[in-house]
Amino acid sequence: MKKCIVGKKIGMTQLFDENGHVIPVTVVEAGPCVVAQKKTAENDGYESVQLGFGEISDKHINKPNKGHFAKADVAVKKYLREFRLDDCSALSVGDIVKAETFAVGDKVDVCGKSKGHGYSGTIKRYGFSRMRMSHGTGPNARHIGSMGNCSDPGRVPKGKKLPGHYGCVRSTVQNLEVVKIDNENNLIAVKGAIPGPKGGIVTIIDSVKA
């Protein structure tokens, strides 16, 4: 990983290439981010950088984070994300990372928190098939049916797919292409969909499988 940035998902739209083909894109407000901390192998056992993103007032941040930014002598930020880079020598504490870090055509991985669906059944959560709606099925068409075995072992096996909380987890979409960059407004248009709702915080890094 060589390049990274933190951003906010704006929403989806579409662009047209030189041949008139439609390209579905997601627009991300990427940066500007400030380097709040730089970890080294000597002090921390590994190399990484912390990027701060998002404006916030001093009165809305807790004392530990306020001291963290004060130590780096940078303005407080709402979000902090850490990245382990192949080479951290190019960045120093206080440097600003903008959308121009990436270029059109780059392959990137986008990570965010997926949309939360609350408590959901197995049909919505895992794509189970429902039972037939007639011939004695009764009001159980969307129930999960039999789950366990008979007298041996006489219990439901561990790892059984059951109703429960669905979504709101860390999710990554890999190998997306950067279609357009607006350096003036710090916007990056990425081909395809990315995790999370509008306004969700995402991280963009170099693709690990490109």
Provide φ and ψ at 138, rounded to 5°: 80, -160
Can you give the pLDDT at residue 134? 86
* pLDDT above 70 (res 105): yes
For residue 96, list its beta bridge partners: 34
12 band by pLDDT with thresholds 50, 70 and 90: very high
Tell me the average pLDDT of the chain. Answer: 89
CB count within 10 Å of CB 103 equals: 9
Q: Which CATH number fits domain 1-31+100-115+168-210: 3.40.50.300, 2.40.30.10, 3.40.50.2300, 3.60.60.10?
A: 2.40.30.10
26 Cβ neighbours under 8 A, 6+ residues apart: 9, 10, 11, 12, 189, 190, 192, 193, 194
Given a contact cutoff of 8 angstroms between Cβ atoms, the answer to whether 164 and 120 are in contact is yes
Can you give the pLDDT at residue 139? 86
Can you give the pLDDT at residue 13? 93
- The SS3 assignment for 34 reads strand
Report the range of poorest mean pLDDT among 13-17, 93-97, 194-198: 93-97
Q: What is the mean pLDDT of residues 120-145?
A: 88
* pLDDT above 70 (res 8): yes
* pLDDT above 90 (res 86): no
Please determine, looking at this structure, whether the domain spanning 32-97 carries the CATH number 3.40.50.720: no
Can you give the pLDDT at residue 91? 82
Per DSSP, 134 falls in state: S
